Amino acid sequence: MDGGMKLAPNLVEVEDLTVRFVTREATVHAVNGVTFSVRPGEVLCILGESGSGKSVTLRALMRLLPPRRTKITGRMQVDGQDILSLDRGALRRLRGGLVSMIFQEPMTALDPVYTIGTQIIETICKHKGISRSAARARALELLELVKIPSAAQRLDNYPHELSGGLRQRAMIAMALSCDPRLLLADEPTTALDATVQIQVLILLRKLQRELGMGTIFVTHDLGVASEIADRIAVMYAGRIVEEGPVADVLRAPLHPYTQGLMASTVHGQARDQDIDAIPGSPPDLRRLPAGCSFAPRCRYATPECRASIPEPRSPEPGRMARCIRVEAAVHSFA
């Protein structure tokens, strides 16, 4: 008998995920061969600039992309279920039950003509099959769990009657209402001021640990990633270009893009010194370059970089970067 500890099977497995948006005018290559996994109770943070494919990846996991003009290939499994093979009924049971999502702007995600309580109660009744009175009691418990003051009164408020911070907490309560195993958070603190943002981050991390949820958290903010993540996956032009434990990636980034993101922050910069911003702009996803998508903006780019897409390289266990300079980067931090 093996006396060693056995790791729990992955809650999420995504392999070679590709998402294309096809119109008469062009094909947008939004996600390009993305592979990652999430263990139960783990927080994976997907980090990158706007337009890198972060939100599209989350929506693909929930099958929320418009089916008529979206082509999805690859493999996506959540808790053993093949997401791409689910019919409409199975998808309805998946959304809100097994998998829940917190959207970036709660004012557009919450229905303005129904009270907060009604929306949470309907979700609980649909997935849990309990009475409305029991669902209302559960909704009140959830609002108190996410630290909404005067929770009983807030149940009967409409979304426009709450501040941005309280709306976001109400959306978190709704996402947690049916005890999901996987929580998807799409930049849930971007619209909040700094004080409320840190409160929501601390709350999310606390709830995630207490409830043991696997979480995929999308952000473009390095500070947010450092607060919430166990592991980081850095996306650029629809590809994961670096992945590893949060402390390792932030301490010793291996990919030039990750290094550029780190250098583009004001933290540690002298007041009279310009921010070392990444030159240029992200590529047009309708016309991706033949080689490394970051090559046109990279100070280290060579003809080899422009000729073909770099293969993933793992210089040490748990680390990965798509760059021919990975070994040089490792030595620079040694």
| Structure confidence at residue 184 (pLDDT) | 95
For the record, the structure tokens of 111 come out as 């229905």
| Distance set, CA 182 to CA 6, 48, 60, 98, 297 (Å) | 21, 21, 14, 6, 35
Eight-class DSSP state of 10: P
Percent of all residues in the chain with a pLDDT value above 90, rounded to a whole number = 61
Among residues 185, 184, 297, 182, which one has the least CA distance to residue 241? 297
| Structure confidence at residue 105 (pLDDT) | 77
For the record, the structure tokens of 291 come out as 């080689």
> Class assignment of domain 12-98+180-333?
alpha beta
Where does the pLDDT of residue 322 fall: very low under 50, low under 70, confident under 90, or very high at 90 and above?
Answer: very high
Burial 188-202 (b: 16+ CB within 10 A, else e): bbebbeeebbebbbe
| Domains of the chain, residue spans | 12-98+180-333
Where does the pLDDT of residue 328 fall: very low under 50, low under 70, confident under 90, or very high at 90 and above?
Answer: confident
User: Could you tell me the end-to-end alpha-carbon distance of the chain, in angstroms, rounded to an integer?
Assistant: 40
- The whole-number average pLDDT for the span 276-280 is 81
